[in-house]
C-alpha cells in the first residue's frame, strides 16, 4: 500500500480553469491516484482508473450527490445524475427515452432546417462571436421547444445550466453563487412543476404523463425536469465553440471534413475528446477500496477527471493533436457507463446537422481576436470567441 501523491493546486481555481491542459499532464505524471489537499478529494487523472471507477458503481456512488459540499448535495439528490441502482434506472426510464436516437428521429427535420438557417446567417455575417452567434443558437432554439417550459423557464435555462455545473465544486465563490441560483430553479419547479403549467408536447410535460407509471409523485416528477436543462445545453454549446476554434487552428482538418463529409461524425467525437466539456465529476466512496496500491477510505470523495483521461498518452497517440480521422471510440467526453451523458445523442445530432450545413458555406475559419474561457467550475467552454470566416463562393 502506498500513500497518494499530493497535487497541491486548486483544481477549481481560476488559473487552472484558464489553462488546464499542462496541469492534467502534471497530474498524470505524478500517478494514477492523487490527493488534492486544496479540494479535499482523491483524483483519478489517468484513463484506466477513470473507466474502472465509473464502472464500479457499487463503491463509487452517485446517489449521495456529485458535489464536494454535502450540504449542496441535498439540493442535487433526486435527479437522474445524482442517483444509483434501481432509482437511477427508474428515473432514466422516464427522462432518457425521449432523447434516445430512435425518439430523436422525429426532430431531425426541425434540427436540420434550424442548422441550415444558422449556417446561412454565419456565412452572411462573416465576422461573429462563435459562442453567442453560433454555439448557443441551435441548442437553445431546439431545447426550448423540445422541453416546453414557459417563458419564465426558457429565459433562465443558460443561467441554471451554468449554475448546475458550478455547484459541483462546493466551496468557492462560483459554487456559492450557483447554490443561490439553483434555489431560484427550485422555486420555479415548485411553481411550474405541474403538467398543466407546461406546454403541450414538450418533454417536461411528458414527465408528468409517464412518471406515475414508474411510481413517481408529482413533486418527484417536478424534480426530474432538471434532467433536461444542463445535459441538453452545455455539452453541445461547449463542443460547438471548441469545434470552431480547433478548425481555425487546424485548417487542414477542416479541409479534410469539407472534402469528405462522412468524417463529420468522427470529427465531432474528436472535438468532444479534446475539449471534454465536463472536466470531472466526483463520486462518494461507499467502502474502503484500493486503487493503484492506494487505499481510499470510506466516506471520501473520488474525482474522475474525464478531461485528463481523454489526453492519456497510453491510450491516445499524440493526444494533444486534433485529428478528425483518429479512432476515438474509447473517449470519455460523454462520460462512461450507466451515468454516460443523457443528452449525448441530441448533442451529436445537433452538431452533425450544423456542421453538415457549415461545410457548404465556410471555406476557412479564422480567429478574429482573443478567445475568453468561461469561468465555470466544471464546464470547459468559451465565454467569448471572436471568429471570422472565408465563405464558400
Residues 31-52: what's their mean pLDDT? 98
- 3-state secondary structure at position 20: coil
Counting Cβ atoms within 10 Å, is residue 152 exposed (0-12), middle (13-18) or buried (19+)?
exposed
For residue 7, tell me if it sits in a domain: no
For residue 9, is it within any domain? no
Segment 305-320 shows an average pLDDT of 98
Q: Is residue 296 part of a domain?
A: yes
Please check the confidence at residue 228 and state whether its pLDDT lies above 90: no
106 occurs within a structural domain: yes
Distance CA(253)–CA(48), nearest Å, equals 29
Residue 230 is predicted with a pLDDT of: 66
Q: Is residue 25 part of a domain?
A: yes
Domain presence at residue 2: no
CATH, residue 160:
1.10.630.10
Average pLDDT, the chain: 93
Percent of the chain exceeding pLDDT 70 equals 99
Residue 297 grid coordinates:
477510505
pLDDT digits (tens, 9 = 90+) for 237-253: 999 999 999 999 999 99
Tell me the pLDDT tens digit for each residue of 168-180: 998 999 999 999 9
Burial 178-217 (b: 16+ CB within 10 A, else e): bbebbeebeebbeebbebebbbeebbbbbbbebbeeeebe
pLDDT band, very low/low/confident/very high, at 1 (cuts 50, 70, 90): low
Give the rounded percent of residues in the chain with a pLDDT score beyond 90.
71
Number of domains in the chain: 1
Its pTM stands at 0.95
Position 328 in a domain:
yes
Is 365 part of a structural domain of the chain?
Answer: yes
Tens of pLDDT, residue by residue over 46-92, are: 999 999 999 999 999 999 999 999 989 988 887 888 999 998 999 88
Predicted confidence (pLDDT) per residue in 197-217, tens digit: 888 878 788 888 888 888 888
Strands 301-304 and 281-285, bridge-based pairing: antiparallel
Angle subtended by helix axes 230-249 and 264-275, to nearest 10: 100
Q: Does residue 343 carry a pLDDT above 80?
A: yes
| 143/113: higher pLDDT | 113
The parent domain of residue 235 ranges over: 14-391
Q: Work out the average pLDDT over 262-289.
A: 98
Amino acid at each position: 500500500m502506498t500513500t497518494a501523491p499530493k497535487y497541491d493546486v486548486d483544481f477549481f481555481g481560476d488559473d487552472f480553469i484558464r489553462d488546464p491542459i499542462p496541469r492534467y499532464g502534471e497530474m498524470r505524471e505524478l500517478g494514477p491516484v492523487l490527493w488534492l489537499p486544496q479540494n479535499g478529494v482523491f483524483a483519478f487523472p489517468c484513463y484506466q482508473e477513470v473507466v474502472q471507477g465509473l464502472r464500479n458503481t457499487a463503491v463509487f456512488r452517485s446517489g449521495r450527490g456529485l458535489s464536494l459540499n454535502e450540504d449542496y448535495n441535498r439540493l442535487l439528490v433526486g435527479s437522474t445524475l445524482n442517483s444509483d441502482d434501481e432509482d437511477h434506472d427508474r428515473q432514466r426510464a422516464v427522462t432518457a427515452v425521449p432523447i434516445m436516437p430512435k425518439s430523436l428521429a422525429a426532430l431531425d427535420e426541425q434540427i436540420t432546417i434550424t442548422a441550415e438557417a444558422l449556417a446561412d446567417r454565419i456565412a452572411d455575417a462573416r465576422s461573429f462571436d462563435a459562442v453567442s452567434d453560433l454555439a448557443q443558437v441551435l441548442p437553445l432554439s431546439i431545447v426550448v421547444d423540445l422541453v416546453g417550459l414557459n417563458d419564465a423557464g426558457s429565459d433562465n435555462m443558460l443561467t441554471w445550466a451554468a449554475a448546475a455545473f458550478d455547484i459541483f465544486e462546493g466551496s468557492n465563490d462560483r459554487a456559492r453563487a450557483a447554490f443561490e441560483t439553483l434555489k431560484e430553479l427550485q422555486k420555479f419547479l415548485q411553481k411550474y412543476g405541474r403538467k398543466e403549467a407546461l406546454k403541450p408536447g414538450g418533454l417536461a410535460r411528458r414527465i408528468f404523463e409517464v412518471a406515475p407509471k414508474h411510481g413517481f409523485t408529482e413533486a418527484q416528477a417536478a424534480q426530474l425536469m432538471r434532467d433536461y436543462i444542463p445535459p441538453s445545453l452545455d455539452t453541445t454549446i461547449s463542443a460547438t465553440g471548441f469545434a470552431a476554434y480547433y478548425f481555425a487552428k487546424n485548417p487542414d482538418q477542416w479541409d479534410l471534413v469539407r472534402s469528405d463529409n462522412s468524417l463529420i461524425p468522427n470529427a465531432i467525437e474528436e472535438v468532444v475528446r479534446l475539449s471534454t466539456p465536463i472536466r470531472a465529476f466526483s463520486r462518494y466512496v461507499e467502502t474502503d477500496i484500493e486503487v493503484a496500491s492506494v487505499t481510499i477510505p470510506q466516506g471520501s470523495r473520488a474525482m474522475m477527471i474525464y478531461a485528463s483521461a481523454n489526453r492519456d498518452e497510453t491510450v491516445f497517440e499524440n493526444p494533444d493533436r486534433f485529428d478528425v480521422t483518429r479512432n476515438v471510440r474509447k473517449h470519455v467526453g460523454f462520460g462512461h457507463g450507466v451515468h454516460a451523458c443523457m443528452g449525448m445523442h441530441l448533442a451529436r445530432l445537433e452538431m452533425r446537422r450544423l456542421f453538415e450545413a457549415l461545410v457548404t458555406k465556410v471555406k476557412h475559419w479564422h480567429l478574429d481576436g482573443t478567445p475568453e474561457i468561461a469561468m465555470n467550475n466544471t464546464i470547459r467552454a468559451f465565454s467569448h470567441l471572436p471568429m471570422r470566416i472565408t465563405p464558400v463562393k
